[in-house]
Structure 1
């Protein structure tokens, strides 16, 4: 199914990449990551342009996922989960939402999960957008830069080192967030 959807969007070139990245933020189950790699493999000189197109589509789609979560997610959640679980999930998202969105926007987990859950749990839309810009920017531009500088050899680098690279960057982002959050708390205590 991933291949069929990717091929269908690839037929439309750069507009297909934009559309897939946009729709990935709230509905389509295939991340634009695969299409971006395929297109960058064919034309490495345009890899940074592809990164920009995928990044822009993804960021523009994020508020739609957020609004879907806000409008449709809450009623569905209330029907399928007990109130105490919903309250606990909301509390946890309030506490850890920054890290979840930042790390989630970078990882291979479908981005729509984080945009929709942000709306469901009343997470700040401006924070969602800020952390999406950071995480999605790192993700798409890392691929774009690899293909821009290494051409078709970047595919081998991604195949060999993608998991460890994503894990390393994810850990780095998580640690940076933890340090930032602790400093923010210490600063608030001294006020």
Structure 2
């Protein structure tokens, strides 16, 4: 099953709608969707390494725009949609502590959590809820998401062939490690959020 999904994702990179799918996942992941854009970015960049930088740019722009939606959810809809999303991820009781931390460390929270596997939607929604400055939120989001996606694009461009062989040879193990990393990020965010 993993192999078919991987092959499908590789074939997606040649389709005209691939960029739109990547943008949609990047946008949604920053505000409400649980799957990170890496699941499309990595195979698409391996299939067309000459477009890895373009893909990273699309992920960055779409992620920041999605982050603005997440910020709006936290700022304008926290009592309804924002609370539901935060509670759905199990962080309801820790939001106040996180909000207070924003007053002192907001820029570092955005920069550091934007680079980690901790779901970025938690940062975007809480940034809006905490009333963090929107202009600075956007600037810091561009920096942190850009670094995250462009570093990945650089690694895939530079080491693409060995990484692709490694991925194809050990697909199950790599997917399991990715899932563990994602789960670990969620657990870490519960501990430190």
TM tier, shorter chain? 0.5 to 0.7
The CA distance in 1 between the partners of 2:22 and 2:104, in whole Å, is 34
Structure 2 CA distance for partners of 1:87 and 1:57, relative to 1, 3 Å: closer
Aligned to 2:50: 45
Aligned to 1:67: 72
Residue pairs, 1:31-180, within 5 angstroms: 31-74=36-79, 88-155=97-164, 156=166
Structure 2 CA distance for partners of 1:30 and 1:99, relative to 1, 3 Å: same
In structure 1, runs of 5+ residues without a counterpart are 164-191
SS at match of 2:77: helix
In structure 2, runs of 5+ residues without a counterpart are 88-93, 168-173, 179-193
TM-score by length of 2: 0.67
SS at match of 1:152: helix
TM-score by length of 1: 0.68
- Contact 1:48/1:144 (CA < 8 Å) preserved in 2? yes
What is the CA RMSD across the aligned residues, in angstroms? 3.1
Question: Deviation at 1:89?
Answer: 4.0
Structure 2 CA distance for partners of 1:42 and 1:87, relative to 1, 3 Å: closer
The count of aligned residue pairs is 152
Question: Deviation at 1:29?
Answer: 0.6
Structure 2 CA distance for partners of 1:53 and 1:120, relative to 1, 3 Å: same
The CA distance in 2 between the partners of 1:87 and 1:132, in whole Å, is 22
Question: Deviation at 1:132?
Answer: 0.8
